[in-house]
Amino acid sequence: MHPGLDRDGYLILPNFLGQELLRRLRSRVDELYEEEGGRAGSEFRLEPGARRLANLGDKGDLFLDLASNPAILHYVRQVLGNELKLSSLNARCADPRSNSHQPLHVDQGLLPDDQGNSVCNVVLMLDDFTPDNGALRAVPGTHKSGQNPVHTLANPSEPQPGEILVTGTAGTAVIMNAHLWHGGTANRTTQPRRAIHAFYCRRDKPQQQYQKRLLKQATIDRLTPEQRHLLAIDDPLNDELSAATPNMSGFLR
Ligand SMILES: O=C(O)CCC(=O)C(=O)O
C-alpha cells in the first residue's frame, strides 16, 4: 500500500488528467448540466448548494474510460484489494456563492469490516480546489478510527482538530479511502467548483448505483470485457446485492 494513502487515507495526484482530457470532461459535464437543467442528478440525489450529475457511465464513453483507467484502478486496489467494482460514477458541482458545506461523513455510513476497507472514492478536479471555492475537507487518519463522525461528533458540520483542506489545480485526482471523515465545503466564489466522483466498492457490497439496471443496453453492448467486469454486469452476486436497493442515494448512508 502507498504509505501516504495508508497513513492519511488519501493521496493527491497532481496533473493526473492531461489538458485535452480535462477540456473534454469539462465540456461534456457543462453540456449535461445544460441539457438536464433542474433534473440534473435526480437519478442519484438532489443536494442544496451543489448540483450533481448521475449515471455518467451512460452519458459519454469518456467517463467510462476514466473510471476504468488502469492508473486509477492501481490505486483503488491498494485500498480495496483486487476484488473491486465500480459503485457509482457521478459529478458534483459546488455552486457559486452557495452553502455546499457538508457534515463530515464516511461514504454510505460504512466503516471498515473484518475484511478491511470496502469503499474508495476518486475525486477528479475539473476546477482548481481552493480554500474559498468548496474544496474537500478531511481529517487525516480517521479511516482507521472505526467511527462514523455523524454518530460520534456533537456537530459534524463544525471544523475538527487536525482537519485539512484538500486543494489542488484542475486535473488533479484524489484517491480517497471513503472511510475517511470528509465533506465538501461552501463555495464563496462566483465560479462553480466541478468534480467527478468515481466511486468503487468491494465486490461483496451492493453498488451505490446498480449499473446494470441504469445503463442503456446500447452502452452495455459497447463495454469491453474488463469494463463489464468492473461494472459487475455479469455478476449474480451483484444482482442479488444491488437489485434490492438500486439507488443508495444518501451520501451519509
Ligand atoms: O465534492 C466534494 O467535494 C466531496 C463531496 C462528498 O464528499 C460527497 O458528496 O460525499
d(CA 205, CA 238): 8
Mean pLDDT by 10 residues, the chain (253 residues): 90 97 98 95 88 96 97 98 97 95 95 98 98 97 97 96 97 98 97 98 96 96 97 97 77 51
What is residue 46's predicted lDDT score, i.e. its pLDDT? 86
Instruction: Kindly give the distance from the C-alpha atom of residue 221 to the centroid of ligand 1, in angstroms, as a whole number.
Output: 31
Rounded Cα–Cα distance for residues 92 and 182 (Å): 15
Question: 136 in ligand 1 pocket by Cβ < 6 Å?
Answer: yes
Give the closest residue (by CA) to ligand 1 atom 4. 184
Residue 250: predicted pLDDT = 61
Closest C-alpha to 175, from 109, 136, 129, 121: 121
User: What per-residue confidence (pLDDT) applies to 249?
Assistant: 66
User: If you measure from the C-alpha of residue 101 to the centroid of ligand 1, how many angstroms do you get, rounded to a whole number?
Assistant: 9
Whether 183 is in the pocket of ligand 1, judged by its Cβ within 6 Å, is yes
Task: State which H helix or E strand residue 195 sits in.
Answer: strand 193-202
Residue of 123, 127, 128, 129 with the most ligand 1 atoms within 8 Å of its CB, for mutation: 123
Number of Cβ within a 10 Å radius of residue 212: 18
Domain topology for 3-201 = Jelly Rolls (2.60.120)
Of 12, 29, 99, 102, the residue with max ligand 1 atoms within 8 A of its CB, to mutate for a pocket test, comes to 102
* Separation between Cα atoms, residue 81 and residue 73, nearest integer Å: 10
What SS3 string covers 73-139?
HHHHHHHHCCCEEEEEEEEEEECCCECCCCCCECHHHCCCECCECCEEEEEEECCCECCCECCEEEC
Nearest-angstrom CA–CA distance, 38 and 34: 9
Ligand 1, atom nearest to 135 Cα:
3
Q: Residue 253's pLDDT is what?
A: 42
pLDDT the model gives residue 31:
98
Residue 50 alpha carbon, nearest atom of ligand 1: 1
Question: What Rg, from alpha-carbon coordinates, does the chain have?
Answer: 17
206, three cell numbers: 451492493
Name which residue sits closest to atom 7 of ligand 1, judged by CA: 183
